[in-house]
Amino acid sequence: MIGSFAMLVVGAAVVFLLLHAIPGDAAIAALGDSASPDAIAAFRAQHHLNDPLAVQFWSWAQAALTGDLGQSISLAGGFSTAALIAGSLPNTLFVGAYALILAIAISLAGGSIAASRHGRIEDVLATSGAIVTISLPDFWLGYVLVLVFSLGFGWFPAYGFTRPGDSLAGAFHSGFLPALAIAVPMAGILSRMLRATLLETFRRAYVVSAHAMGFGRFFIFWHYVLRNALIPYVTAIGLQARYLLGGVVVIERVFGVPGVGSVMVDAAFARDYGVVQGCAVVFLLIVIATNLLVDTICGLLDPRRTA
Amino acid sequence: MSISRRHLLTGIAGAVATNAAPAGLGQYAYAAVANGQTLRAALTGFSVMNTLDPGKAAVNPEFFIIWGMFNTLVKFDAGMKVVGDLAESWTNPDPTTWEFRLRKGVRFHDGSEMTADDVVFTFERIADEKFGSPVRKRMATVTQVVALDPYTVRLKTDQPFAPLLSALTNTRTSTQIVCKKAVLAMGNEQYGRTPIGTGPWKLKEWRPNERLIFVAHTEYFESGLPRCGALEVPLIKDDASAINALAAGGLEFVNAVPYGESDRLQHMQGVTFSSVPGLNARFMALNIQRPPFDDVHFRRAVSMSINREAFVQAAVFGQALPSQGYIPKAIGWAYDDTPHEYAQFNPVRAKEELAKSKYGAGTEAVITGFPDAWWKRMIEVFVDMSNNVLGVKFRVELQDARTAYSRWTQNDGQAWSMGWIALCDPDEYLFDCFHSTGWRNFSKYNNPALDKLLEQARQELDREAKGGPLYKQAERLIADDCPSVFLMNTFSNSAVLAKVKGFEHTPYDGFGAQLAPMSIS
């Protein structure tokens, strides 16, 4: 717990310092290029942008500790940071979870087939498919999906996302292409990972002896191989899940998913320091939570850890 | 990244042309309202909007929305002529007095009537230093605003100020008439998020960074408008995505078509492409206080080294007019079309001027600009052309737009690739940018003859007949000195689905102002 909290504080401070190290100004972002110098000066004074950095950070941190992440000043003036995150985080989580499920489904199938048909044509196809998908830039894949499934077949919207709160069916429909664009490269990595660990497990002595005892192939795969091979696989999913938070901004942009990554990037460009930090804290919290979750699942899979 | 996208999208063209996909934006969440259809008009290239209060608005996307929610006393028609908006008529009893007769029966979105009281409140609010309008000084010439009766307003200016009328049409002067009652009831900050205006579109929901949702203002004073019952404005940062959405039928209108896509859209079935020269100037602003651009001969040499016709092709796929001055062609009465020597491509003369300057071939300079879309090519082509013709060693430095701009305002750098869109009086171009006291004259250009001319032109109430020749003369004085190298006047390109009727493309690009007459068949 203390470690996690320290990580939060250090993370927030690093983001704060980095943000102030880049040139630019919230006043110009908010007031535009026709603002007079006195208007800019008044804006800076009103939002305490002239205070020493340490003072600014301290007042932000004090409020944040009481759960108040402040208000936007140059991204969406007057909207609270909490409202901006609350409006966008569910979309990110939905598309992220959707992508993760697709990636797990694809990689479980691909990895298992490749490993169990090791060296045969199915393996070659699955393995080379994985390498191709890992190598595709995700924004390019996004456009190709739009080209084929939206502009070509007309099955999915080319742009725009229906919030799960507005319509769950709509969210699944409009979120499919962005989730797939995120899932495909991830599935490539995960299925290669799964294939490698499965193959390694196949060669383990206990698997060989299970064969010698005359158990069926599927019985062995299910009871002896898969569960053991899943531990590194789940850890890898945990690492990939972090990428879902921030790394999918490009996909959010291509498909118009109003996610928290886009909010953070826009806030950074607008130098809306409070909003960027609010997003960063939420990201950190989610990463910490994901780590805990991964550790828990690995524990369940591996009785030695819980024993 | 942008190159691969473009290539890819060129490839998409064929596939798109014959497909009318049913899927679209918001198809689940917002069914068309009872009294008509939902118009989906994207604001492309923007995702950030900070306020919708006309008194506080400062950046283009905010202005674009405000055009549709508010009205001004007067406005430009499609031919750039000033006509009445909330004012029916106006007179000048003397050169410093303007009397506006207001329309009767104009209703705000909350149902209350707009009267002279609201007009007075609007002007007093933006003049109030404490309110902090970013453009307060722009209207500082107005010294007094009085309601003579509920439908008559009198404005006094401190000196004869002819550009006042065009300033009043404008979102950049904060002069959209706000609802006094609503502002006082909710306070300034809240009013910026839930504004009440008189315009055709009434705000229903603002989802920051995502979209704005409007319903028709059923009591709008122009009868029959708006034609659609609802309006959705998604904020689409990635302009290629906006074009895809349009092609798939998920949008009816895209306000800014990337120049590289213009050719494709002209040939796309079911889409009407529209292009007019905008009210902008694109140029290299030179720091005349620092070497090497402190030398007028060097500046002239650079200006003559640019082949503007080729420049336009290379930088924006031909989607611009080459320009030699600040005032765009759309303001015909002040536009100087006599070729100016220093704005013509002439390598021989350019080298002669270089020989006369303190600096020679091999001179180094850093040109600062931003990496966004064609802005990047603009600066690269400029540097390439100067380096090739003059043998100088200019170098490109890219920074995000706000940083580059804020460095320009501090005169920090040697030259900057910049643009300006003024709405819509020549005074706003020349006086603001080149008069020795102009607020945008960041490099402190000082030419007493020009100052005198601009001061005189500003007082000329007969804008076209008497003001026009003065502005043309002023443009020639500026071109002699080349404090900036003018390059082009880019087009404003829009695309709308062919089934949409009633779209009229205005050169001033007032997004929200164009949407009310549009209907979907």
Q: In this structure, are residues B222 and B516 in contact, taking their beta carbons and an 8 Å threshold?
A: yes
Question: What is the helix, strand, coil percentage profile of chain A, to 5?
Answer: 75, 0, 20
Of A18-32, B251-265, B324-338, where does mean pLDDT reach its minimum? Answer: A18-32
**Residue B253: its pLDDT value, please?**
95
Q: In whole angstroms, what is the distance from residue B167 CA to residue B227 CA?
A: 28
Q: Any CB–CB contact under 8 A between B452 and chain A? A: no
CB–CB of A139 and B5 under 8 A?
A: yes
**pLDDT per residue over A137-156, tens digit each?**
888 888 999 999 988 888 99
Nearest CA in chain B to A76: B50
Peptide bond into A178 cis (omega under 30): no
Chain B residues with CB inside 8 Å of A25's CB?
A: 402, 406
Q: What percentage of chain A has pLDDT greater than the value 70?
A: 98
**Residue A306: its pLDDT value, please?**
58
Q: What is the DSSP letter of B103?
A: P
Q: Any CB–CB contact under 8 A between B237 and chain A? A: yes
Q: Mean pLDDT across the stretch B298-316? A: 96
Chain B: give the shortest CA distance to residue A185, in Å.
18
What confidence tier does B287 reach under pLDDT thresholds 50, 70, 90? very high
Strand partners, B493: B275
Strand partners, B417: B284
Chain B residues with CB inside 8 Å of A143's CB?
A: 5, 8-9, 12, 240, 244
Phi, psi (5° rounding) for residue A146?
A: -60, -45
The CA–CA distances, whole Å, from B124 to A254, B51, B56, B146 equal 44, 19, 14, 10
**Residue A20: its pLDDT value, please?**
83
Q: At a CB cut-off of 8 Å and minimum separation 6, what does B449 contact?
A: B477
Nearest CA in chain A to B432: A34
Chain B residues with CB inside 8 Å of A157's CB?
A: 23-25, 27, 245, 248, 250
| Position with higher pLDDT, A244 vs A268 | A268
Task: Give me the residues of A, 89-118, that contact B with CB < 8 A.
Answer: none
Q: What percentage of chain B has pLDDT greater than the value 70?
A: 93
CB–CB of B12 and A147 under 8 A?
A: yes
Q: In this structure, are residues A181 and A145 in contact, taking their beta carbons and an 8 Å threshold?
A: yes
CB–CB of B8 and A77 under 8 A?
A: no
Q: In this structure, are residues B390 and B301 in contact, taking their beta carbons and an 8 Å threshold?
A: yes
**Residue A74: its pLDDT value, please?**
86
B513 pLDDT above the threshold of 70: yes
Q: In whole angstroms, what is the distance from residue A51 CA to residue B179 CA?
A: 36
**Helix or strand or coil: residue B181?**
helix
A1 pLDDT above the threshold of 70: no
Phi, psi (5° rounding) for residue A63?
A: -65, -40
Q: Mean pLDDT across the stretch A254-270? A: 88
Q: Mean pLDDT across the stretch A238-258? A: 80
Task: Give me the residues of A, 254-283, that contact B with CB < 8 A.
Answer: 254-256, 258, 262-263, 266, 269-271
Q: In whole angstroms, what is the distance from residue A101 CA to residue A107 CA?
A: 10
A231 pLDDT above the threshold of 90: no
Of B20, B27, B49, the CB nearest to A76: B49
Q: In whole angstroms, what is the distance from residue A276 CA to residue A267 CA?
A: 6
Chain A residues with CB inside 8 Å of B4's CB?
A: 137, 140
Phi, psi (5° rounding) for residue A34?
A: -110, 10
What confidence tier does B132 reach under pLDDT thresholds 50, 70, 90? confident
Of A227-241, B124-138, B183-197, B478-492, where does mean pLDDT reach its minimum? Answer: A227-241
Cα–Cα–Cα angle for B115, B116, B120, rounded to 5 degrees: 130
**Residue B77: its pLDDT value, please?**
83
**Residue B358: its pLDDT value, please?**
95
Rounded to two decimals, the pTM is 0.85
- Mean of all residue pLDDT scores within chain B: 89
Q: Tokens for B200?
A: 């055709």
Give the number of other CB atoms < 10 A from CB of residue A55: 11
Chain A: give the shortest CA distance to residue B19, in Å.
7
Chain A residues with CB inside 8 Å of B212's CB?
A: none
Q: In whole angstroms, what is the distance from residue A189 CA to residue A237 CA?
A: 10
Q: How many CA atoms lie within 13 A of B275 on its CB side?
A: 16
CB–CB of B245 and A256 under 8 A?
A: yes
What confidence tier does A128 reach under pLDDT thresholds 50, 70, 90? confident
**pLDDT per residue over B172-214, tens digit each?**
888 999 999 999 999 999 999 999 999 999 999 999 989 999 9
CB–CB of A23 and B234 under 8 A?
A: no
- Mean of all residue pLDDT scores within chain A: 85
Write out B416-435 in H/E/C secondary structure. EEEEEECCCCHHHHHHHHHC
Chain A residues with CB inside 8 Å of B234's CB?
A: 159-160, 256
Residue A57: closest CA among A101, A104, A123, A9: A9
CB–CB of B238 and A162 under 8 A?
A: no
Chain B residues with CB inside 8 Å of A181's CB?
A: none
Give the number of other CB atoms < 10 A from CB of residue B358: 11
CB–CB of A77 and B48 under 8 A?
A: no
Chain B residues with CB inside 8 Å of A30's CB?
A: 50, 58
**pLDDT per residue over B339-376, tens digit each?**
999 999 999 999 999 999 999 999 999 999 988 878 99
* Best of B136, B244, B428 to mutate (most A CBs within 10 Å, chain A): B244
Chain B: give the shortest CA distance to residue A113, in Å.
33
CB–CB of A143 and B207 under 8 A?
A: no
CB–CB of A253 and B238 under 8 A?
A: yes
* Best of A74, A159, A271 to mutate (most B CBs within 10 Å, chain B): A159
Q: What is the DSSP letter of B465?
A: I
Q: Any CB–CB contact under 8 A between A152 and chain B? A: yes
Q: Mean pLDDT across the stretch B55-61? A: 89
Residue B198: closest CA among B181, B178, B180: B178
Chain centroid to CA B158: 27
Chain B residues with CB inside 8 Å of A88's CB?
A: 209-210
**Residue A140: its pLDDT value, please?**
87
What confidence tier does B307 reach under pLDDT thresholds 50, 70, 90? very high
